[in-house]
């Protein structure tokens, strides 16, 4: 059986990026092709990609899901919205809240805890998503210590459909200028949706491995997109997933070398010795030790993932959400 500890590695704390690269596409890019490792910058993709490549992006938009308020007792309360359940009702994580408790937010807005499901709660708000956009805060990963409003930096330039609690970070490196260059060069660019949940930061458990399932996340791939991707695959083009979220979507809907149009939820857990059904290549960041994302990278790289991560540490690449990128060609 796969052991979680087999996907551990040592990372100096000073390599955890606290700020994104500026401009976005100036971050470093570690390129892995077979046994060869080269060092580039993200903007070099404009020279490296060709009309025989297809980039698949996740157009999900991060929303400010972190709500800070006060309990009736006067103590502080924090609600992290996970997903919408219905009109004004949300599944959420609540710190220090109880059943029936009312939490006050800014400008006389409030929420009430109406159900508790273990660590998760159902909260009924008296305000709309437009208000959430105004009073909420983006829930940055716990390893990013720098404060301030990071809404712009923690959002891809092509984000459209609101629903993610965390950014699909591989896409953060694309600038509008780089995307335009790629389009002019004939690189095909397609989009899918996967709303990233807070479970992406959760620890992998033995139960996850036993059940071969992870946290569940909403995804969607349209009929038009599926048809174009299948056509590109038949034509021998290289399908490049921009991020592990895109890879999860495509592998969730792949069968016999084709993808199908679908919307729903996926709990697919991709770890060795899984064999990819549709994706040929992956652009991704450097991920947390013992995470499901490192395990996914190991599916493509095999045991070479340790060497690659070791080189990245030695060369002082920047890690995690605001860090540098890797392209497994």
Q: What is the pLDDT of residues 48-102, one digit of tens each?
A: 999 999 999 999 999 999 999 999 888 999 999 988 899 899 999 887 789 999 9
Domain count of the chain?
A: 2
245 falls within a domain: yes
pLDDT above 70 (res 142): yes
Domain span at residue 153 reads 4-62+148-328
Indicate if 52 and 82 belong to the same structural domain: no
pLDDT above 70 (res 201): no
The CATH number of the domain where 188 resides is what? 3.40.1780.10
pLDDT above 80 (res 146): no
Total residues found in the chain within this entry: 329
Indicate if 90 and 239 belong to the same structural domain: no
91 falls within a domain: yes
140 falls within a domain: no
Indicate if 220 and 80 belong to the same structural domain: no
Indicate if 13 and 33 belong to the same structural domain: yes
* Among candidate residues 275, 319, 276, the one with its CA nearest the CA of residue 294: 319
Using 50, 70 and 90 to split pLDDT, how confident is the model at 210? confident
pLDDT at 95: 79
Indicate if 177 and 230 belong to the same structural domain: yes
Q: What is the dihedral of CA 233, 238, 239, 243, to 10 degrees?
A: 170
Buried b (16+ CB within 10 A) or exposed e, 245-276: bbbbbbbbbbeeeebeeeeeebebbbbbebeb
pLDDT at 2: 86
Indicate if 192 and 105 belong to the same structural domain: no
Indicate if 70 and 58 belong to the same structural domain: no
295 falls within a domain: yes
Indicate if 38 and 90 belong to the same structural domain: no
* Among candidate residues 179, 156, 243, the one with its CA nearest the CA of residue 43: 179
Indicate if 40 and 181 belong to the same structural domain: yes
- Residue that is last in its domain, among 76, 106, 135: 135
Name the H helices within the chain: 45-48, 129-135, 176-185, 206-211, 223-234, 244-252, 292-301, 304-314
141 falls within a domain: no
142 falls within a domain: no
281 falls within a domain: yes
- DSSP β-ladder status, 238-242 and 281-285: parallel
Indicate if 181 and 299 belong to the same structural domain: yes
DSSP 319: B
Please identify which residue in the block is written with the tokens 């100096």: 12
269 falls within a domain: yes
- Residue that is last in its domain, among 110, 135, 160: 135
- Residue that is last in its domain, among 135, 169, 189: 135
Indicate if 57 and 80 belong to the same structural domain: no
**Contact by Cβ (8 Å): 18, 300:** no
**Contact by Cβ (8 Å): 96, 122:** no
Indicate if 155 and 302 belong to the same structural domain: yes
The CATH number of the domain where 100 resides is what? 2.40.10.240
pLDDT above 70 (res 199): no
Beta-bridge partner residues of 255: 258
């Amino acid at each position: 059986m796969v052991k979680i500890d087999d996907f551990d590695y040592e990372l100096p704390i000073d390599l955890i990026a606290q700020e994104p690269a500026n401009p976005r596409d100036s971050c470093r890019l570690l390129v892995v092709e077979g046994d060869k490792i080269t060092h580039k910058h993200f903007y070099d993709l404009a020279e490296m990609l060709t009309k025989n490549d297809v980039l698949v992006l996740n157009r999900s938009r991060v929303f400010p899901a972190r709500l800070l308020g006060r309990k009736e007792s006067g103590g502080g309360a924090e609600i992290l919205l996970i997903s919408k359940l219905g009109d004004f009702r949300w599944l959420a994580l609540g710190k220090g809240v109880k059943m029936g408790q009312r939490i006050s937010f800014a400008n006389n807005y409030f929420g009430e805890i109406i159900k508790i499901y273990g660590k998760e709660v159902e909260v009924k708000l008296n305000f709309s998503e437009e208000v959430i956009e105004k009073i909420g805060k983006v829930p940055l990963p716990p390893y990013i210590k720098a404060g301030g409003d990071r809404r712009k930096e923690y959002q891809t330039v092509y984000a459209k459909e609101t629903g993610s609690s965390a950014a699909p970070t591989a896409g953060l490196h694309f600038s509008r200028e780089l995307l335009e260059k790629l389009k002019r060069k004939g690189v095909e660019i397609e989009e899918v949706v996967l709303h990233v949940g807070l479970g992406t930061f959760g620890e992998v458990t033995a139960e996850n491995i036993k059940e071969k399932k992870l946290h569940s996340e909403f995804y969607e791939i349209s009929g038009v997109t599926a048809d174009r991707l299948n056509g590109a695959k038949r034509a021998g083009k290289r399908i490049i997933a921009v991020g592990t979220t895109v890879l999860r979507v495509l592998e969730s809907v792949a069968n016999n070398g084709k993808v199908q149009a679908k919307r729903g939820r996926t709990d697919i857990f991709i770890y060795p010795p899984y064999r990819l059904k549709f994706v040929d290549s992956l652009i991704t960041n450097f991920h947390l030790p013992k995470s499901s994302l490192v395990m996914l990278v190991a599916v493509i790289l095999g045991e070479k993932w340790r060497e690659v991560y070791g080189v990245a540490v030695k060369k002082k690449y920047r890690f995690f959400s605001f860090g540098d990128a890797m392209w497994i060609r």
